[in-house]
């Protein structure tokens, strides 16, 4: 059986975050504070269905029909569309058939343009219960899409969260089964005691959170999809702005388009990492690998070294304390080349700022404590590498400690401007916690691509792309280790939210 396509929100970015939209015949909770755009996004959801030939119902527990029309007056919604119906339900104090004063069901306003209020009758006020709400709304069935704005208006039914949850679940089931509808329910995030939001977050198929906050002195609205069962959804926060068609979600891209590309990529043979970075590490420019001092870097180094050797590149290494000769041997253990072979064939050069290498070898250079000293080593590397592409893996922290801040900065700029060719890869490895803030800021600013990895409190290691000319910026992926090369797996980006790849020049 062919599955029906998802129900579109009418916004390409939001639909892309949901792999097409909301799964059919499912319920989604849209939560947020006042003024965050819940009602407007709900109306846009209905308008998108109407544009596709579907029918729609907007149910309000807070506004009269006239107020709804006023609220949407500035938007391009066709509120008189023949397949769009409005209903209002409201709790008021009244007299039931039993003669008791209690909460009763009323529809707001004297005019009921779609006629549903006729079934409430004039002889008595029906109790404000799910049974009578369903009886009233059954007049409108069936419809393809329903917006219930908002379920916070039902919280007066009971002080018991469990009973309230059962009531809402009954209504959601009613919309799904009796209406055959895909349902969007809105709720105020600041509802006292979270009586409304918390139960619904567990009961609905998906949750979309709206918020607003100041960026500098300006109010901005934000959206995040925190849950969507069965959908490989994008969890990154995006902005939401009001436009004539309802709302617009952005940014559509977080990295520059392929047309502006001035760099190439070096794949490192770890599919998830290569995909995250838009094809691999950026060549011909600076790459910064930030870490927290706890995350394991050896497998990542191994992948980068192996990829460089596969393309017959020369390796220039300013090693970390863990990248001693035995560490590099282990990193390339499955290859025929050994460290002595690489040194002898001018495929490996080491600037030993940590004193862990045999400095009698012609391609192992003792620590340099001046700018000119490091530059002279780089000149030798360029001369001996015989035109091969070069991978520079530089321990930025040891450079700062050995040379000082200003000299390390000078060397970093000099290497990129004078030594880095289009086919070369230059990676600086840096732990921000061991250097002053201005040093970390310098390395971040100088790099074209910034990758950060860290170990969480529960022992899980993550990796995120924080800056890049292309790729899935802002995405965080799990890092796990394997027993076979390349010895690690990086979780794939959730989906191709945008096209971060560019045709190579």
CATH number at residue 162: 3.40.50.300
Place of tokens 């792309």: 465
- Which secondary structure element, helix H or strand E, spans residue 146, and what is its range? strand 145-149
Confidence grade of residue 9 (pLDDT, cut at 50, 70, 90): very high
pLDDT for residue 159 is more than 60: yes
Residue pLDDT, tens place only, 122-152? 445 677 777 888 888 888 889 999 999 988 7
* Mean pLDDT computed over 41-50: 97
pLDDT for residue 119 is more than 50: no
Partners of residue 224 on adjacent β-strands: 209
Looking at the structure, tell me whether residues 281 and 189 fall in a common domain: no
pLDDT at 262: 67
Looking at the structure, tell me whether residues 163 and 104 fall in a common domain: yes
SS3 call for 74: coil
Residue pLDDT, tens place only, 333-362? 888 889 999 999 999 999 998 888 988 999
pLDDT for residue 481 is more than 70: yes
Looking at the structure, tell me whether residues 224 and 312 fall in a common domain: no
* Mean pLDDT computed over 76-103: 75
Domain boundary at 200, 222, 250, which?
A: 250
Cis, bond preceding 496 (omega within 30 deg of 0): no
Confidence grade of residue 320 (pLDDT, cut at 50, 70, 90): confident
Quick one: tokens of 354?
A: 């940590």
Say if 64 falls within a structural domain: yes
Report which listed range, 92-101, 228-237, 341-350, is most confident.
341-350
pLDDT for residue 417 is more than 60: yes
Residue 500 backbone zone (phi > 0: left; psi -120 to 50: alpha; other: beta): alpha
Residue 329 CA neighbour count, 13 Å, CB half: 8
Instruction: Indicate whether this model's pTM tops 0.75.
Output: no
Say if 429 falls within a structural domain: yes
Nearest by Cα to 464 from 256, 455, 77, 474: 474
pLDDT at 287: 97
CA distance 350 to 352: 6
Looking at the structure, tell me whether residues 41 and 159 fall in a common domain: yes
Looking at the structure, tell me whether residues 183 and 224 fall in a common domain: yes
Neighbouring residues of 291: CB distance < 8 A, sequence distance ≥ 6: 297, 429, 430, 431, 452, 453, 454
Name the more confident of 299 and 152: 299
* Mean pLDDT computed over 391-409: 93
Looking at the structure, tell me whether residues 286 and 194 fall in a common domain: no
Q: Are 148 and 140 a contacting pair, CB within 8 Å?
A: no
Looking at the structure, tell me whether residues 317 and 421 fall in a common domain: yes
Which ranges constitute the DSSP H helices of 2-116? Answer: 12-17, 38-51, 65-71
Say if 503 falls within a structural domain: no
Please count the structural domains in the chain.
Answer: 2
Say if 466 falls within a structural domain: yes
Report which listed range, 203-207, 218-222, 336-340, 472-476, is most confident.
218-222
Quick one: tokens of 109?
A: 């306003």
Cα–Cα separations (whole angstroms), residue 299 to 204, 353, 388: 41, 22, 24
Q: Are 197 and 29 a contacting pair, CB within 8 Å?
A: yes
pLDDT at 504: 43
Looking at the structure, tell me whether residues 272 and 224 fall in a common domain: no
pLDDT at 103: 59
Dihedral of the alpha carbons of 486, 490, 491, 494, in degrees to the nearest 10: -110
Confidence grade of residue 499 (pLDDT, cut at 50, 70, 90): very low
Name the more confident of 504 and 474: 474
Q: Are 180 and 54 a contacting pair, CB within 8 Å?
A: no
Mean of all residue pLDDT scores within the chain: 85
pLDDT for residue 105 is more than 90: no
Domain boundary at 250, 275, 297, which?
A: 250
Name the more confident of 358 and 190: 358
- Which domain, by its residues, includes 139? 12-250
Confidence grade of residue 13 (pLDDT, cut at 50, 70, 90): very high
* Mean pLDDT computed over 272-277: 92
Looking at the structure, tell me whether residues 241 and 286 fall in a common domain: no
Say if 198 falls within a structural domain: yes
CA distance 231 to 226: 11
Q: Are 481 and 296 a contacting pair, CB within 8 Å?
A: yes
Q: Are 503 and 258 a contacting pair, CB within 8 Å?
A: yes
């Amino acid at each position: 059986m062919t599955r029906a396509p998802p129900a579109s929100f009418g916004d390409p970015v939001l639909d892309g975050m949901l792999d097409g939209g909301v799964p059919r015949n499912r319920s989604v909770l849209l939560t947020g504070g006042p003024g965050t755009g819940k009602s407007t996004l709900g109306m846009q959801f209905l308008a998108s269905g109407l544009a596709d030939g579907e029918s729609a119902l907007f149910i309000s527990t807070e506004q009269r029909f006239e107020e709804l029309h006023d609220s949407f007056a500035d938007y391009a919604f066709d509120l008189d569309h023949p397949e769009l119906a409005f209903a209002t339900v409201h709790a008021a104090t009244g007299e039931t058939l039993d003669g008791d004063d209690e909460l009763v069901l009323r529809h707001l306003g004297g005019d009921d343009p779609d006629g549903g209020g006729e079934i409430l009758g004039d002889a008595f006020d029906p109790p404000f219960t799910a049974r009578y709400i369903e009886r009233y709304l059954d007049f409108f069935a069936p419809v393809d899409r329903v917006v219930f704005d908002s379920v916070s208006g039902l919280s007066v039914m009971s002080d018991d969260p469990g009973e309230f949850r059962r009531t809402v679940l009954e209504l959601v089931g009613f919309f799904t089964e009796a209406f055959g509808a895909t349902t969007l329910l809105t709720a105020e995030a600041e509802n006292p005691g979270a009586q409304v939001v918390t139960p619904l977050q567990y009961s609905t198929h998906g949750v979309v959170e709206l918020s607003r906050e100041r960026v500098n002195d300006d109010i901005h609205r934000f959206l995040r999809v925190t849950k969507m069962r069965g959908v490989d959804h994008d969890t990154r926060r995006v902005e939401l702005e009001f436009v004539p068609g309802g709302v617009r979600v952005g940014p559509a891209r977080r990295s520059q388009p392929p047309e502006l590309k001035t760099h190439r990529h070096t794949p490192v043979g770890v599919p998830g990492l290569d995909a995250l970075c838009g094809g691999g590490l950026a060549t011909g420019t600076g790459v910064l690998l930030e870490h927290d001092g706890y995350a394991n870097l050896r497998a990542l180094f191994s992948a980068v070294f192996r990829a460089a050797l596969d393309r017959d590149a020369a390796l220039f290494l300013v090693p970390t304390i863990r990248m001693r000769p035995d560490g590099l041997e282990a990193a390339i253990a499955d290859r025929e080349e050994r460290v002595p072979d690489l040194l002898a064939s001018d495929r490996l050069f080491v600037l030993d700022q940590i004193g862990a290498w045999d400095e009698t070898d012609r391609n192992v250079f003792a620590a340099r404590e001046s700018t000119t000293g490091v530059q002279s080593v780089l000149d030798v590397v360029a001369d001996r590498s015989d035109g091969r592409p070069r991978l520079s893996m530089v321990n930025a922290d040891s450079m700062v400690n050995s040379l000082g801040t200003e000299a390390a900065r000078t060397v970093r700029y000099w290497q990129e401007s004078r030594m880095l060719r289009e086919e070369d890869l230059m990676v600086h490895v840096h732990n921000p916690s061991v250097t002053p803030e201005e040093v970390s800021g310098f390395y971040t600013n100088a790099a074209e691509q910034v990758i950060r990895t860290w170990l969480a409190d529960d022992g899980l290691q993550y990796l995120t792309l924080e800056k890049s000319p292309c790729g899935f910026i802002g995405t965080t992926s799990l890092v796990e280790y394997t027993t076979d090369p390349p010895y690690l797996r990086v979780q794939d980006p959730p989906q191709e939210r945008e096209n971060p790849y560019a045709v190579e020049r």
